[in-house]
Amino acid sequence: MGRQAAPLSRALPLAALASCLACPAQSGDEQAGASPSAAPVDSFEPLGPEPGRFLAEDGRIRVPVPVSAVDGEPGSESEPGSAPGSESAWECLEDSHGEGSARAVAIRCRRTDPREFLFFSAKTHRQPRPQRTDAETLLMSLYRADNEAFFSRVEYLRDGPTTLAGARAWEAELDAEHPRLGAIRKRERLAITGDRVLAISAEGRPELWEQHADAIEAWFASVEFAR
């Protein structure tokens, strides 16, 4: 099930990015033979709407609608999920699947100009019981393997401990090369709370990374996850 925050006249760039939504195909209970419909209800306090922020339909994630200084002074929001400012330079999209505790939710915000490859993501999904580990191991093994499989070259610039949604987290930043897209910069942060993975990221061409550094920092500082 997907929810589009603003009309899209074209497909989301790199929708097939394996590293963009690292949701497992089956939860631990499904692998054990339980029906997906039998997944227990996930107990959390949904987040509510706030001006200038995009909210997941079930209230699991709330993100700042990106605003960059290069886009000019913010104006009034004309559509939910569209950034304030000239001609809505950003737009946000939600994707979700599963029910109860097995539900996975992702929000992606991207530049509306198809020539500007830069997008941010925030996602949460259940970690299957056999795969449960710590944030560092998950980010620097599974996520790293996804990146190395997708890009033709990957160079990790840094990684280390941080926090996300009040939990201990791990963050990494890397440079990569893609056969079609060329040079790419990527930053990922991941935490595990209970049996859920929380992850945020930014990905795009290096020149856009510099131009929109303020929006990237705002994303990493203020994405929220329901508890």
pLDDT of residue 32: 37
Measured CA to CA, the distance from residue 203 to residue 50 in angstroms comes to 25
Q: Where are the domains of the chain?
A: 2-6+43-225
pLDDT (tens, 9 = 90+) of the chain, 227 residues, equals: 444 443 333 333 333 333 343 443 333 343 333 333 444 456 889 999 999 999 999 999 999 999 988 886 544 443 445 544 445 899 999 999 998 888 999 999 999 999 999 999 999 999 888 878 999 999 999 999 999 999 999 999 999 999 999 999 999 999 999 999 999 999 999 999 988 999 999 999 999 998 999 999 999 999 999 98
What does the pLDDT read at residue 41? 52
Third-level CATH fold of 2-6+43-225: Protein Transport Mog1p; Chain A (3.40.1000)
